[in-house]
Structure 1
Amino acid sequence: MRRDDRDDPFDDIFREIERMMDEMMQGDARGNVGFEQEPAGFGSDTHVDVQETDDDIRVVADLPGVAKSDISLQCDGDHLTVSAASDVREYDERITLPAPVDPDTGTATYNNGVLEVVFDRAARSTDIDVE
């Protein structure tokens, strides 16, 4: 059944929506259809949460299907880089921390697909003696 859009004020909007849906479902030259064109990994279906308190910074990331031995973490004090791989996808994310941390205090746990990394905040300031 075709709708009668002779007097429809929303006709242009509906045509544009139909065009976009058709374009999405047709795919590209490689045969990828719609949203499958984007590679899976951080940002697609992985949740990363950064929490801060007065004493520490906590990063929690969902890494489903990854073995603990396949997770690599690096921290420079301002960013945490999480790299991991499973049989079906690779994760690689550089997370900007909300405050400077002491990278030497980092502890990490991984349980049931959830990675949790905790850092102490870096010292805010120190006394400097003038000679």
Structure 2
Amino acid sequence: MKTETLIFAVLFVFLLVTGAIYAVLTHFAEFGGGIPLVLVAGLALMIATYLWLTGRRVGSRPEDRPHAHIYEGAGEQGFFSPWSWWPVFLGAACAVTFLALAIAFWILPIGAAFGAIGLIGWVFEYSRGDYSH
């Protein structure tokens, strides 16, 4: 994960410098440019830190070695629920929540409730019923 870590670290530095330059050039009068750039730089730093820590824990992958073969990356990549409808439900909850931000705030609790139900359903999907372990 060295390449991914480097990409997000460079993105962090670029956004931080760009945000600082933007804030100085606008004399700190415009809050719609410099502050969001610095905040997105913080997000890039969080992702870079996560990838760096995960790369130290997991070790070298075939993608990290320049002379690795394709067959080294074959096999199981993780578990993905093939027939789950909960991500669609969560997407609809996000749509309702953003609709509340655009139209009326009284819709926000409805979207939050749908989101909580969808998240709980997705997390505990395999804990009950026919597919429980």
Q: TM-score, normalised by structure 2?
A: 0.21
Query: Which protein is richer in strand relative to its size?
Result: 1
Based on CA coordinates, which of the two structures has the bigger radius of gyration?
1
Q: TM-score, normalised by structure 1?
A: 0.22
